[in-house]
Amino acid sequence: MRIHCELEGASFAHADSPPRDEIVVLAYNLERGLRADDQIAALKNDAAMPAPDVMLLSEADRGCERTDCRNIAREWAQAFSMYYVYGVEFIELPRFWGPAGGRLGRRCEHGNAILSRYLLGNVRLIRHDVNRSWHSWWQRLFRVGEPRLGGRMALAADMRVGSRYLRMYSLHFESREGQRYRPAQAVELAEDGLGSPHGVLIGGDFNCVEYKGDLASGTSTDGVTGALLGRGYADAHAGMAPAERATSRSGYPIDLIFGRGVSFTGAGIGDTAVWGKLSDHLPVWARVRFS
């Protein structure tokens, strides 16, 4: 069920940060923002994680009872004094019961956001051409599960750092029946990024459970990461041991940052002891140097 929603954006930046040759990017699936206050506090106080200049956020609620009708992306931007843009992935429909947040008595929204210390422009919402429907008649009739309007999307924006620019994408690829949808969604973003004359960062929840096997065995069977690697994008965390790369509670490395036309000088994953109870995903970060 296709939807069209206007983009949201604002600035809470006090002033543009001074340009640097290297910035830090963070990608994080917030799990709706069910523990938003604790997540924000953790990011401000986790000495092991460098302060991000850019955040690529997914699963951010707007106006949902399960997160006290808050605008999660906007609150994150306020908390870190950043510019932000937000796009709607799904209109969540009423339900008596459902995973990750339970009951919803009215419609609300959730989606992706890009937060930045630097000015954002050329913002676009890319609704994937190949998409699974979450709008089943039985879920709407009985108000159970996750009935939704809309589908997977990515949010794109250009960020200006001094006289240089970076194209950024905040994504959330399909979870269920993923092999039917995820590779095509990855190809769409990879090809879109090839049209940028500037460096490109693509980050978020890839849901690519097949990548774990490739990392362990050195193979290239996953169609999602293969779509990026085959087009000249680099995995920011490629230097980490496969056993250290899990970002989900199920043990899969599905939260990733890829880049093209940039270099990565360091990367890491949030410590489970700090972040493990704040979402069903761990945040990932990378140091990015302009080429």
pLDDT of residue 133: 81
Domain that holds residue 286: 8-290
Closest to 188 (Cα-Cα) out of 228, 145, 133, 248: 228
Q: C-alpha dihedral over 59, 64, 67, 70, to 10 degrees?
A: 90
Share of the chain above pLDDT 90, in %: 83
Q: Residue 140's pLDDT band (boundaries 50, 70, 90)?
A: low
pLDDT of residue 178: 65
Give the C-alpha separation, 117 to 82, whole Å: 5
pLDDT at 25 over 70: yes
The kind and range of the H/E element at 112 are strand 108-116
Q: C-alpha dihedral over 37, 39, 43, 44, to 10 degrees?
A: 10
Q: Give the pLDDT confidence of 56-78 residue by residue, as tens digits.
A: 999 999 999 999 999 999 999 99
Residue 284 is assigned to a structural domain of this protein: yes
Residue 125 is assigned to a structural domain of this protein: yes
pLDDT at 104 over 80: yes
pLDDT of residue 98: 67
Residue 223 is assigned to a structural domain of this protein: yes
Residue 2 is assigned to a structural domain of this protein: no
Q: Who's near 173: CB < 8 A, 6+ residues apart?
A: 152, 181, 182, 185, 186, 204, 205, 206, 207, 208, 224
- Number of domains forming the structure of the chain: 1
Residue 199 is assigned to a structural domain of this protein: yes
Instruction: Classify strands 199-205 and 164-172 as parallel, antiparallel or unpaired.
Output: parallel
Residue 150 is assigned to a structural domain of this protein: yes
What is the number of alpha carbons within 13 Å of residue 249 lying toward its C-beta?
Answer: 8
Q: Which residues pair with 235 in a beta bridge?
A: 258
Q: Give the pLDDT confidence of 144-157 residue by residue, as tens digits.
A: 678 889 999 999 99
pLDDT of residue 291: 82
- Are 73 and 97 in contact by the 8 Å Cβ rule? The answer is no
Can you give the CATH number for the domain in which 110 is found? Answer: 3.60.10.10
Q: Give the pLDDT confidence of 220-246 residue by residue, as tens digits.
A: 999 999 999 999 999 999 999 999 999
Closest to 126 (Cα-Cα) out of 109, 107, 111: 111
DSSP H helix total and E strand total for the chain? 7, 14
How many angstroms separate the first and last alpha carbons of the chain?
Answer: 41
* Both tokens assigned to 239: 């230097």
- Strand, coil or helix: what is 234? strand
Residue 247 has phi, psi (to 5 degrees) of -125, -5
Average confidence (pLDDT) over 179-188? 93
Give the C-alpha separation, 148 to 134, whole Å: 5
Residue 3 is assigned to a structural domain of this protein: no
Residue 55 is assigned to a structural domain of this protein: yes
